[in-house]
Amino acid sequence: MPNMRPLTVVILAAGAGKRLKSSLAKVCHKLAGEPLIKHVIRTVQKLNPVSISIVVGHKKEQVINECKEFPVSIVEQKQQQGTAHAANVAIEGLTKDSRVLILFGDVPLISFATLEKFLEMSSSFNLGLILANKDDPAGYGRVIRDQDNNISAIVEQKDANELQLKIQEIFTGILCIGVEKFKKWYPELSNDNAQGEYYLPDLVYAALKENESIASFTVKNEFEIEGINTRLQLASSEKKYQKVLAEKFMEEGVTFLDYEHVYFRGDVEIGKDCLVDFNVLIDNTVIEDNVTIGANCVIKNSSIKSGTIIEPNTYIDGSTIAENCQIGPFARTRPGTILHADVKIGNFVEIKNSEIHPNSKINHLSYIGDTLVMENVNIGAGTITCNFDGANKHKTEIHENAFIGSGTQLVAPVKIGRNSTIGAGSTITKDVPDNELAITRTSQKIVANWQRPKKMRK
Ligand code: UD1
Ligand code: MG
């Protein structure tokens, strides 16, 4: 039974990508923060194929580097002689009883749902194609149909005549073929065309010669099948995809005050009843329910628990933020920041590699680095942890209920005891015991009858 054939996947990624004019391989360019090739690999993994082969060639080290986290096999196409030639390099090693889904690394947004439906409807055919209708078909292979509306050819842009160029039905580059048939038909292909290449869509001719019927599946969501060949296509796909992601989050219960000006990269999760203001970038971050994010925030590689409010113009990176915190406006948390529940971080505060326990407050103009801050600590404006001696980093500890007066420098390594108070303007270089006041300020002098200097007259 043909539909019992095991499924294998081949992704073509060996082409030069000339139209991008880039020193980076085409499939390594990023869409929503992820290289194009990774989008394709992640999607096909969900189909649970027997194997996934990636055909590499041009700038192969870059492509292999992006694929190394996945269980895929790498096959090299030494000379780029066209898409059918590339597919053959991978299919040569496959067993005849399987069928192979061939995808292009530069068509990154094809969805799992589309592939699943396509594989299902084409399962008993030896050749199945994914097609689409495009308002602007420029650059794509055009689908030619006969009087009975059956597919008779796919003609590349460069080989098409004027009439054919007007056709809006296009080949997406994604097809499924029985391995046995591919091995039979491939040697019949010719490279007598405008590019002197062996074209994958020419398999149509070989199939028709044998009176094989061809399955075709038309994709409705145009953005899924956008091929990325130019910087403009990359930018326009990014824009469309961002809108699709925003729509998905809105369906899941997120409010965007301006959904065309929020940006998502990498793996992003956003919980219900979150409110996101305009011009916000969320990159590889998990956000729980009821979080508010003000305008102009960048949040990356972080997690934020429910009820937290991020005020405008805040930059959060590599941070773990618990429930009901308030951060910003104009705050920066750097990698290694851990905020427990109900912590307040105010404007112009920078935190790095530090853990802040519940109910502690750092409200204004401070740098806290390599520091452990326990519960209910109040750190006054302009406090600096001097964590770097020019050669090494040192730790600061500030224990429960401590009160650090404004304008204090804590020279690490140093430990501030529970319930202790540091007088404003102090430079603390030694540990402070629990319950005590430490102050290093010089005492105030009053200079009697002192006069301000007067401007000298010439
Ligand atoms: C291709 C299709 C076209 C389709 C369009 C969809 C062919 C001949 N044309 O055109 O019908 O409408 O995609 O986006 O198939 N590659 C190799 N080795 C090669 C050549 C290409 O691995 O020798 C890879 C490229 O890296 C790329 C993919 O195959 O990932 C497609 O090649 P590309 O040059 O982008 O073809 P298009 O002109 O877009
Ligand atoms: Mg292409």
Cβ proximity of 151 and 145 under 8 Å: yes
- Protein residue with its CA nearest to atom 16 in ligand 1: 15
Count CB neighbours of 390 within 10 A: 4
Long-range contacts of 415-419 (CB under 8 A, 24+ apart): 418/374
Cβ proximity of 366 and 333 under 8 Å: no
Cβ proximity of 397 and 370 under 8 Å: no
Complete domains list, the chain, with CATH? 7-225 (3.90.550.10), 253-438 (2.160.10.10)
The reported pTM is 0.92
Q: How far apart are CA 331 and CA 349, in angstroms?
A: 5
- Per-residue model confidence as pLDDT tens for the chain (458 residues): 445 799 999 999 999 899 999 999 999 999 999 999 999 999 999 999 999 999 999 999 999 999 999 999 999 999 999 999 999 999 999 999 999 999 999 999 999 999 999 999 999 999 999 999 999 999 999 999 999 999 999 999 999 999 999 999 999 999 999 999 999 999 999 999 999 999 999 999 999 999 999 999 999 998 899 999 999 999 999 999 999 999 999 999 999 999 999 999 999 999 999 999 999 999 999 999 999 999 999 999 999 999 999 999 999 999 999 999 999 999 999 999 999 999 999 999 999 999 999 999 999 999 999 999 999 999 999 999 999 999 999 999 999 999 999 999 999 999 999 999 999 999 999 999 999 999 998 889 999 999 999 999 88
Cβ proximity of 74 and 56 under 8 Å: yes
Q: How far apart are CA 46 and CA 147, in angstroms?
A: 39
Look-up: residue for tokens 């880039």? Answer: 22
Cβ proximity of 63 and 25 under 8 Å: yes
Among candidates 345, 334, 348, 354, which has minimal Cα distance to 397? 354
Full DSSP string of 429-458: -S-B-TT-EE--PPPP---TT-----PPP-
Neighbours of ion ligand 2 (CB under 5 A): 106, 227, 229
**∠ at Cα 307 (303, 313), nearest 5°?**
65
Binding site membership of 284 for ligand 1 (Cβ less than 6 Å): no
Atom of ligand 1 nearest to the CA of 15: 26
Binding site membership of 14 for ligand 1 (Cβ less than 6 Å): yes
**Does the active-site annotation cover 399?**
no
Binding site membership of 129 for ligand 1 (Cβ less than 6 Å): no
Binding site membership of 137 for ligand 1 (Cβ less than 6 Å): no
